[in-house]
Structure 1
Amino acid sequence: MKTHPDTAANPAEFPTATTTAGSEVLVKAGIKERNVTVQCAFPAGLITAIVGPNGAGKSTILGMISGLLAPDSGEVRSGETVFADASRSLPPHQRPVAMLTQKPLLFPHLSVLENVAFGPRARHRSREEARRIARQELAAVGAAELADRPATALSGGQSQRVAIARALATHPQVVLLDEPFSALDVETAAKLREVLSKRLRQEPRPTVIFVTHDPLDVWMLADHVVAIENGHLIGEGTVVEMLGQPATKFLENLSGMNLLSGVIEESGEVATIDAGGVKLTGLWQGKNHPGPQTPALTAFAPQSVALFQTAVSGSPRNTWQARVTEITPRGAVQWISLELDGGQSIQAVLTPQAVSALQLAPGSPIFAEVKATQITVYPR
């Protein structure tokens, strides 16, 4: 295995791409020592999540794209620019790629502003221009007021905001994210998902590739999903295709939460969304209360779904007509797959006794209910 290549064999054959909008990234490469051989494409200007079990090869793919690892077979390219092949590799600093990990890795001897300005300065921008870009990026992630602070005086969430700003200050074609929220508490991670989703969708959009084990990251950030197991590609598609109908045990576990996307109808501490004709009411988790038609995501556990043969009144409740599509035993419980009237799919968890009492079978009509306090609504 080759790591940290310093020079390309012939720089003329590896031209540095311009830092404009993102281009498609193709990885048709492998590293024998890591038992990774993949062939996958990451669409230009979209956000792609790489998912898979620990040791599947996700971080190896990021390493080959960033230049921290060199393939010993195949090639890695972004648009027309070949990043690496089996014999040569463009060094990391010559690739229009920014990488963000769970550790911010800010320069401790620099201020926040100078940390963010470092990338533009390294690309020969004037000090004044680099600082202007840095202030813009800090403002974009809600950290403008931190500009003059020492990097050592920040909280974990503040440090990660600054790290996001620093990664994007060079206007990279490709942005790599390796579990950037895993070291943060739930509330801080939720805020940063919102910040990052908004920033990464600004034009010109880079091509974004991120590794995560959190289904909320996938549903709230991703446009596309690539699934890796045992060093090989096992599937790719939209978020709904990959998590709505999981083809492997890992994807099934990853999609363990019921997640429905839609648009806001009413907002406040309690928000109502329209998910393709299905109305859901739950507790709003965003910083601000958005207006109608704002994209949103709802999340609720299968264990919170109650099933009844007739609709039960109560407030505040969500009640939907549904049809049983599948019943799957998992240990001491049974998972009930349901199709709602709008065509969306959710799951419920019942005991075998409850399944028998309700006389459930594939095709059975049923009413599904969830309390509003058990549904969380997130900005998307």
Structure 2
Amino acid sequence: MSGLELDGVTKAFGAARAVDGVGLAVAEGAFLALLGPSGCGKTTLLRLVAGLERPSAGRIAIAGRVVADGGTFVEPEERGLGMVFQSYALWPHMSVADNVAFGLKVRRLPADKRRRRVADALAMVGLADFADRKPAQLSGGQRQRVALARCLALEPPLILLDEPLANLDAHLRETMQREFRRLHRETGATFVTVTHDQAEAMALADTIAVMHEGRLQQVAAPQDLYAAPATEMVARFIGRGALVPVAILEPAREGRLTVSLAGRTLAARGAATAPGPGRLVLRSETLSLSEALDAIPARVVDAVYRGGAHTLDLAIDGVEDVLVQVHSREARAPGTRVGLAVEDAWALAE
């Protein structure tokens, strides 16, 4: 059974479509990240799942139950899900325990069961000794844990996370990433998080859905998004790849093909079904300087020392307006002619 299912979900604000025909099935117990730049529609999509917005069209089902379609709309409090907000949304006048118990009181859970649920949830997030404190007495990371405990106490089948780590410093973000992964494993709930940070999405999720202008660009495991982006937008956004124009010389066979770049023939991975113009996705970790005769001719445009290595911006001969980055232990002055070796690349057909 799917933990979450979206079918043709659309949300229009006037003539603008913030979410445009999104179809997505999230397996029960999965951890999905909705990833994309600001304004791509990911937060609106999360609000549609939560019931905070009504879809203009389409169907939404949670754990097999339809919560929104043409004739149905289940209110947020009746959807049986949990949500962790970027702002934590804790009641400042309530203790930690009372904040965690709030949703259980709304659901009229008996007091003894409520106390057990609160104690279990606080223990799960490592705050068993903080039950009597007020939110103002906690650090940002501890407040985030309280918000998560309040969510876990409800034992929801689906947990929505709205930029949950945005307000934390770098160290706390890493700590909470580990906590989210641990709690996901231990609870078995379906998690859906929204983020614009690709490193965070890759650290948290087993599946990432990349959005752009209200539409899904690609849904795949993090390693597949990185290794085989389906569109130029995904290639630029994930890993910040440089897209270099090439000629695809032959259609792909078993995922391999050849391309022509700067007068050189290169082997690459790809799925192009016919020869023609294309784009080669190049990332710095698969590039190196080379003195081989068949190396790609290039020129150093800029060089920056970053402690242990130099980051070189290179312009490939015959390629305009695109620079590729290479890390080198040896310095190269701007203007120096160099050869470029490509260890791995992914080709996209235009």
TM normalised by structure 1 equals 0.64
Q: CA 1:40/1:336 → structure 2, altered by over 3 Å: closer, same or farther? A: farther
Q: Contact 2:63–2:157 (CA<8 Å) still a contact in 1?
A: no
Letter in 2 for 1:41: A
Letter in 2 for 1:209: V
Partner Cα separation in structure 1 for residue 319 and residue 145 of structure 2: 43
Runs of 4+ in 1 over 6 A off after TM superposition: 302-306, 326-330
1:1-380 equivalences under 5 Å are 23-33=3-13, 34-35=16-17, 36-37=19-20, 38-203=22-187, 205-256=188-239, 307=288, 333-335=323-325, 356-357=337-338, 359-362=339-342
Q: Contact 2:286–2:343 (CA<8 Å) still a contact in 1?
A: no
Q: Contact 1:72–1:87 (CA<8 Å) still a contact in 2?
A: no
Q: CA 1:24/1:181 → structure 2, altered by over 3 Å: closer, same or farther? A: same
Task: Give the Å deviation of 1:144.
Answer: 1.9
Mean Cα deviation higher: 115-124 or 69-78: 115-124
1:19-47, Cα deviation, whole Å (9 max, x unpaired):
xx972433432122250221122222100
Q: Contact 1:73–1:86 (CA<8 Å) still a contact in 2?
A: yes
Task: Give the Å deviation of 1:330.
Answer: 8.8
1:71-93, Cα deviation, whole Å (9 max, x unpaired):
12121112431101134310011
Partner Cα separation in structure 1 for residue 118 and residue 317 of structure 2: 54
Partner Cα separation in structure 1 for residue 290 and residue 43 of structure 2: 47
Partner Cα separation in structure 2 for residue 119 and residue 306 of structure 1: 53
Task: Give the Å deviation of 1:186.
Answer: 0.8
Q: Contact 2:33–2:209 (CA<8 Å) still a contact in 1?
A: yes
Task: Give the Å deviation of 1:214.
Answer: 1.4
Task: Give the Å deviation of 1:60.
Answer: 1.3
1:273-297, Cα deviation, whole Å (9 max, x unpaired):
xxxxxxxxxxxxxxxxxxxxxxxxx
Tell me the secondary structure at the aligned position of residue 210 of structure 2: strand
TM normalised by structure 2 equals 0.69
Letter in 1 for 2:324: Q
Q: 5+ unaligned residues in a row in structure 2: which ranges?
A: 242-282, 292-307, 310-315, 345-350
Task: Give the Å deviation of 1:250.
Answer: 4.6
Q: Contact 2:163–2:194 (CA<8 Å) still a contact in 1?
A: yes
- The alignment of Structure 1 onto Structure 2 pairs a total of residues equal to 273
Q: Contact 1:332–1:351 (CA<8 Å) still a contact in 2?
A: no
Q: Contact 2:103–2:150 (CA<8 Å) still a contact in 1?
A: yes
Tell me the secondary structure at the aligned position of residue 172 of structure 2: helix
Partner Cα separation in structure 2 for residue 65 and residue 86 of structure 1: 15
Task: Give the Å deviation of 1:363.
Answer: 5.9
